[in-house]
Amino acid sequence: MVSVAAAPAKAPSTAPPILATEGLGKRFGHFRALSDVTVAFPEGGITAIIGPNGAGKSTFFNLISGAFPPSEGRVLFRGRDITGAAPHAFARMGIAKSFQITNVFPHLTVRENVRVAAQARRVRFAFFRDRAAYPELAERAEELLGEVGLGARMDRLARELAHGEQRALEIAVALAAEPSLLLLDEPTAGMSPEETREMMDLVQRLAETRTLILVEHKMKLVMGLCRRLVVLHQGQLLAEGSPDDIRAHPEVRRVYLGNTAGKITGTTA
């Protein structure tokens, strides 16, 4: 069983949200995957997006990360309307994402993967200049790899890493964009209990200096890890609040009745 230390309680913030959606919706042909979702994400700490299968979590994540545009509604970052902006524009604004499927260059070393990402951010249109022209990139890559726990694996090929290490590398690649907001799609998917513990430790460390929004199906983890949860159901916002608020919410309990009821109360892993 994997356990995570409870996140310390913090006083409610009066600061404007780092990310917000207004009436967000998405249709795929005649199918409505998401409908009228209005929610604000506070700056700092970790917020989890949860819900049963088919709740619209992946669609919502794709909309707030710029993977595809909404059919209606708006996405705002620090009060600025970024609806429909291209993914590279999200990165320039300080939003980075790491998806469930590992996306690294397997034939490059761990260090090279991060250096390439850092170079893409730093030099933009001069991306193909000789890397020797940017000696600070190697240093930054080493710093990021140390932060995610891969400092001793920098010269290994990415394909040689274990699954959990590859996910950590992908996060290091995302961090090369110097984001203030990091979006993580099921960061512990496919991991062993030990890998899960290591990833959750990393997520907690990252949240000390950044805002994190994640989708995660392991309910006991998010209940102990996150300051705030957003619950989707059938493509709509069902509830939002602290873990205690969500545990006590009658509609959330109704949705999770049956073989997942224990997950809401935190009685199963």
Per-residue pLDDT of the chain (269 residues; tens, 9 = 90+): 445 554 444 444 567 899 999 999 999 999 999 999 999 999 999 999 999 889 999 999 999 999 999 999 999 999 999 999 988 889 889 999 986 556 789 999 999 999 998 887 765 545 455 555 567 888 999 999 999 999 999 999 999 999 999 999 999 999 998 999 999 999 999 999 999 999 999 999 999 999 999 998 888 889 989 999 999 999 999 999 999 999 999 999 998 754 454 555 554 43
Q: Which CATH architecture has domain 1-86+220-269?
A: 3-Layer(aba) Sandwich (3.40)
* Residue 171 and residue 207 in contact, taking contact as beta carbons nearer than 8 Å: no
Locate 84 and state its tokens.
Answer: 């429909």
| 187 CB-near residues (< 8 Å, 6+ apart) | 98, 167, 171, 199, 203, 214, 216
Domain ranges of the chain: 1-86+220-269
How many distinct helices (H) and strands (E) make up the chain? 10, 10
112: closest CA among 166, 156, 162? 156
